[in-house]
Amino acid sequence: MNKEIKSVILAAGKGTRMKSNTSKVLHKIFGKSVLGYVLDSSKNIVSESFVIVGHHAEEVTAFVEKNYQNAKTVLQSPQLGTGHAVSMACPYLENFDGQVIILNGDLPLMTEDSIRKFIEYHNSKNSDLTIMSTILDDPANYGRIIREKDDSLKCIVEAKDASPEEISVKEINVGVYLLNWGKIKSAFSQLTTNNAQGEYYLTDIISWGKKNNLNVHAYILENSDESYGINSRKDLAYATKIMNERKLNSLMDNGVTIVDPSSTWISEDTEIGADTIIYPSTYIEGKNKIGKNCKIGPCAHLRGDVEIDDGCKIGNFVEVKKSKIGHNTNAGHLSYIGDSELGSHINIGAGTITANYDPISKTKSKTILKDNVKIGSNTVLVAPVEIGEGTNIGAGSVITKNIGEWALGITRAPLRIIENWVKNR
Q: Which residues does the annotation mark as catalytic? A: 333
The DSSP result for 88-137, as a single string, is TTGGGGTT--SEEEEEETT-TT--HHHHHHHHHHHHHTT-SEEEEEEE-S
Which residues in 124-150 are b (16+ Cβ under 10 Å) and which e? eeebbbbbbbbeeeebeebbbbbeeee
Task: For residue 34, give the H/E element and its range.
Answer: helix 34-42
Measured between alpha carbons, how far is 120 from 401 in angstroms, rounded to an integer? 59
Residue pair 268/286 in contact by the 8 Å Cβ criterion: no
3-state secondary structure of 155: strand
Q: How many other CB atoms are found less than 10 A from the CB of residue 96?
A: 18
Cβ-based burial of 386 (10 A; exposed 0-12, middle 13-18, buried ≥19): middle
Residue pair 282/295 in contact by the 8 Å Cβ criterion: no
Nearest CA-CA partner of 115 in 223, 193, 265: 223
CA gyration radius, the chain: 27
Residues 332, 335, 338: CA angle, nearest 5 degrees: 120
Backbone φ, ψ for residue 173 (5° rounding): -85, 120
Which residues in 7-40 are b (16+ Cβ under 10 Å) and which e? bbbbbbbebeebeeeebbbbbbbbebbbbbbbbb
Measured between alpha carbons, how far is 280 from 245 in angstroms, rounded to an integer? 14
Residue pair 310/294 in contact by the 8 Å Cβ criterion: yes
Q: Find the length of the chain.
A: 425
- The HSE-up count of residue 166 (CA atoms within 13 Å, CB side) is 19
Measured between alpha carbons, how far is 17 from 12 in angstroms, rounded to an integer? 14
